[in-house]
Chain A
Amino acid sequence: MLNYIVKRLLLAVPTLLGVITLLFFIIRLAPGDPVLYILGDMATPERVAALRKELGLDKPLIVQYIDFMSKALRGDFGKSFNNGMPAMERVLSSFPYTLELAIFGTIIAITLGLGIGILAAINRNSWIDLLSTTIVILIASMPIFWLAILLMDFLSVQLGIFPVQGIGDLENPISVLWHLFLPAMTLGLGMSATIARMTRSSLLEVLNEDFVRTAWSKGASKYVVIFKHALRNALIPVVTIIGLNFGYLLGGTVLLESVFSRPGLGTLLIEAVYARDYPQIQASVFFFSLVFIIVNIGVDILYSFLDPRIKLR
């Protein structure tokens, strides 16, 4: 197992270097001079030259690249053009808000997805199956920000149950949770569609296997057959789907933070994009992909626990 984890971690190193390289070059493709953008067109040539030197833009490209790479590997992406704070520091202070949204969203997605999937599978071809399949297909076709607006309109504007925007009073955990519920619910609902679909088809497949038939013939109860025998095996592809959908989840946080006016990594990225704050864009995107890579490694390791055959490949 340890070998597998080490191998998986080593494979992530070139990917991470590739991400940093892409971030370095993609920003250099931007039209216009970033220095003029920061200082404005009216800046004196002396000030332009001074800032160019400060940002290292006067050096040859290869030197800039090596410099960028060595700093990026230490988490140093320079200072935000916006407020002069270290870009990575701002990322780290925004991340907890995104993380809590992602964690609660995932919990809701797994609970709803597994629940709906299992219900649909054990009631195959009934009205429950038809209803859940229809809901799942509809939700899978909705952009997450539209789902957010629908829930916001219904639960916040019409019924007044949840707050419309914001993160609540940070001193009061209940207020924080209350403000978190609707964005997390939206994220969870959006992601639950694929989980439910996969759970249903995977469980139906496993329910036809010989070992499940044996369990039935031994006289095991429905509960034991489904939860003890079938579900564990049906979960393997479901875990993959959860891992694959983590990108959807991260992308979803960017959009939901915008809809619900929440602070977080997504809000930071979008603000940086509007302001063309390149160090901040690089630091935020780097962190997004770092989290994405780590979660994917985690999912692969979890997958090998659930299905020991994977390690042997």
Chain B
Amino acid sequence: MSSQVVVEKYEQIEEKEIEQEIKREFIKELSESKYFLFGGTIFFVVITMAILAPFISPYDPIAQNMRETLQPPSAKHFLGTDPFGRDVLSRIIWGSRISLIVGIFSVFFAIVIGVPLGVIAGYFRGKVDMIISRILDVMLSFPGIILAIVIMAVLGQSLNNVILAVSISMIPRFARLARGQTLSIREKEFVLAAVSLGASHFSIIKNHILPNILTPIIVQSTLSLGSAIIVEASLSFLGLGVQPPTPTWGAMLNLGRQYLFTAPWMAYSSGLFITLTVLGFNLLGDGLRDVLDPKMRRT
């Protein structure tokens, strides 16, 4: 074996070891982050609840029982019943599905559309950047919830339209983030080296830009999940979300506030679940940010 080959082998082994060491360090830091663990636990509970809804829900969430309306919490109905005699706990469990589906899909679509827009604007700059940035400015000149309200007003109430409305209201934040990150990465020496070696734009974006802007996007997407759930709940609360009788936490809160004097359990249980879920995502995002991006670590 020539000495050249031996050196290369050693280098490969070393690289692998470094990679493993980084992974170990990352997992260790994550497992030590209280924010991440607490947020992760809430996330795990909510997602389990959503997946297992048909098995763990004690009653049919939309079955009305007019003989058991507005029952306070009891052994039969842990979180009481609503004015239609529906079991609040079952509706909370099924409602988690809508919150998570809207949260996950809308953030996913916002990333799929927003990130390429931002990367293209930041990478090519010039006129392309100007056009994309002006479009984003227009989208950003509507407060998020108002943009979502208008979209729902135009398209009508359905789960798909809620996802669309929430995605559109979230696109600018991902596009802005990706643009800013790309602008700074494209000036780095390794990108300039790839350009001088004749790499194509596609290859530079795929191999050098995207991997390097991934961290802030992952953090942002976790934090955005919480915001998406709040926007969905706000739309449902205003009666513009998914149509009844599908259980959603926002609509339950809206119904609950009308019975705040006589049956506060309805408003309290749905409000608490929204807050806990959003808190979980926010803490998860904070924990991830602390570990992935030490510069951003809270002072």
What residues make up the interface of A, taking CB atoms closer than 8 Å to B? Answer: 14-16, 18-19, 21-22, 26-27, 29-31, 137-138, 140-143, 145-146, 149-150, 152-153, 157, 200-201, 204-205, 246-248, 250-251, 254-255, 258-259, 269-270, 272-274, 276, 281, 285, 288-289, 292-293, 296
Q: In the assembled complex, how far is the CB of residue B237 from the closest CB belonging to chain A, in whole angstroms? A: 5
Q: In the assembled complex, how far is the CB of residue A254 from the closest CB belonging to chain B, in whole angstroms? A: 7
Which residues of the other chain, A, contact B275 by a CB distance below 8 angstroms?
138, 141-143, 146
What residues make up the interface of B, taking CB atoms closer than 8 Å to A? Answer: 134-135, 137-138, 141-146, 149-156, 226, 230, 233-234, 237-240, 250, 253, 256-257, 260-261, 264, 267, 271, 274-276, 278-279, 282-283, 298-299
Q: A137-B282, A143-B230 are in contact. Are A276 and B153 (CB under 8 A)?
A: yes
Contact (Cβ within 8 A) A247 B138: no
- Residue from A18, A149, A204, A293 within 8 A of B260 (CB atoms): A149
Residue of B nearest to A201 (CB): B299
- Residue from A31, A137, A157, A288 within 8 A of B143 (CB atoms): A288
Contact (Cβ within 8 A) B134 A14: yes
Contact (Cβ within 8 A) B143 A149: no
- Residue from A16, A149, A205 within 8 A of B257 (CB atoms): A149
Q: In the assembled complex, how far is the CB of residue B173 from the closest CB belonging to chain A, in whole angstroms? A: 11
Which residues of the other chain, A, contact B283 by a CB distance below 8 angstroms?
137
Q: In the assembled complex, how far is the CB of residue B125 from the closest CB belonging to chain A, in whole angstroms? A: 16
Give the distance in Å from the alpha carbon of A300 to the alpha carbon of B16 in the complex: 49
Q: A27-B154, A250-B143 are in contact. Are A270 and B149 (CB under 8 A)?
A: yes
* Main DSSP-derived SS at the B contact region: helix
Can you name 5 extra interface pairs (CB under 8 A) apart from A18-B134, A270-B238, A274-B239? A26-B151, A27-B154, A247-B144, A255-B234, A285-B150
- Residue from A201, A251, A296 within 8 A of B145 (CB atoms): A251
Give the distance in Å from the alpha carbon of A267 to the alpha carbon of B264 in the complex: 25
Contact (Cβ within 8 A) B271 A150: yes
Give the distance in Å from the alpha carbon of A98 to the alpha carbon of B4 in the complex: 75
Contact (Cβ within 8 A) A146 B264: no
Q: In the assembled complex, how far is the CB of residue B25 from the closest CB belonging to chain A, in whole angstroms? A: 25
- Residue from A14, A29, A138, A259 within 8 A of B154 (CB atoms): A29
Contact (Cβ within 8 A) B141 A269: no
- Residue from A19, A21, A31, A141 within 8 A of B279 (CB atoms): A141
Q: A26-B154, A29-B155, A269-B149 are in contact. Are A205 and B260 (CB under 8 A)?
A: no
Q: A15-B137, A288-B142, A293-B141 are in contact. Are A145 and B253 (CB under 8 A)?
A: yes
Give the distance in Å from the alpha carbon of A30 to the alpha carbon of B150 in the complex: 10
- Residue from A16, A137, A145 within 8 A of B237 (CB atoms): A145
Q: A201-B299, A269-B146, A273-B149 are in contact. Are A31 and B156 (CB under 8 A)?
A: yes
Closest 10 CB pairs of A and B: A18-B138, A247-B143, A251-B145, A141-B279, A146-B271, A273-B153, A141-B278, A204-B299, A251-B143, A289-B141
Which residues of the other chain, B, contact A276 by a CB distance below 8 angstroms?
153
Contact (Cβ within 8 A) A149 B274: no
Contact (Cβ within 8 A) A152 B143: no
Which residues of the other chain, A, contact B274 by a CB distance below 8 angstroms?
142-143, 146
Give the distance in Å from the alpha carbon of A248 to the alpha carbon of B145 in the complex: 8
Give the distance in Å from the alpha carbon of A19 to the alpha carbon of B137 in the complex: 9
Which residues of the other chain, B, contact A251 by a CB distance below 8 angstroms?
143-146, 234
Residue of A nearest to B282 (CB): A141
Residue of A nearest to B147 (CB): A285
Residue of A nearest to B257 (CB): A149
Which residues of the other chain, B, contact A150 by a CB distance below 8 angstroms?
271
Contact (Cβ within 8 A) A153 B264: yes
Residue of A nearest to B298 (CB): A201
Give the distance in Å from the alpha carbon of A273 to the alpha carbon of B239 in the complex: 10
Q: Can you show 17 pairs from A to B with CB atoms below 8 A apart? A: A18-B138, A19-B141, A29-B154, A30-B155, A138-B275, A141-B276, A142-B274, A142-B278, A145-B237, A149-B271, A250-B146, A269-B146, A269-B149, A272-B153, A273-B149, A273-B152, A285-B142
Contact (Cβ within 8 A) A140 B282: yes
Contact (Cβ within 8 A) A259 B150: no
Q: In the assembled complex, how far is the CB of residue A174 from the closest CB belonging to chain B, in whole angstroms? A: 26
Give the distance in Å from the alpha carbon of A273 to the alpha carbon of B147 in the complex: 12
Contact (Cβ within 8 A) B137 A18: yes
Which residues of the other chain, B, contact A204 by a CB distance below 8 angstroms?
299
Which residues of the other chain, B, contact A247 by a CB distance below 8 angstroms?
143-144
Q: In the assembled complex, how far is the CB of residue A98 from the closest CB belonging to chain B, in whole angstroms? A: 12
Residue of B nearest to A26 (CB): B154
Which residues of the other chain, B, contact A30 by a CB distance below 8 angstroms?
153-155
Residue of A nearest to B253 (CB): A146
Give the distance in Å from the alpha carbon of A22 to the alpha carbon of B134 in the complex: 12
Residue of A nearest to B274 (CB): A143
Which residues of the other chain, A, contact B154 by a CB distance below 8 angstroms?
26-27, 29-30
Residue of B nearest to A202 (CB): B299
Contact (Cβ within 8 A) A138 B279: yes
Give the distance in Å from the alpha carbon of A311 to the alpha carbon of B278 in the complex: 38
Which residues of the other chain, B, contact A269 by a CB distance below 8 angstroms?
146, 149
Residue of B nearest to A17 (CB): B138
Contact (Cβ within 8 A) A149 B253: yes
- Residue from A140, A157, A246, A270 within 8 A of B261 (CB atoms): A157
Residue of A nearest to B156 (CB): A31
Which residues of the other chain, B, contact A19 by a CB distance below 8 angstroms?
138, 141-142
Contact (Cβ within 8 A) A143 B134: no
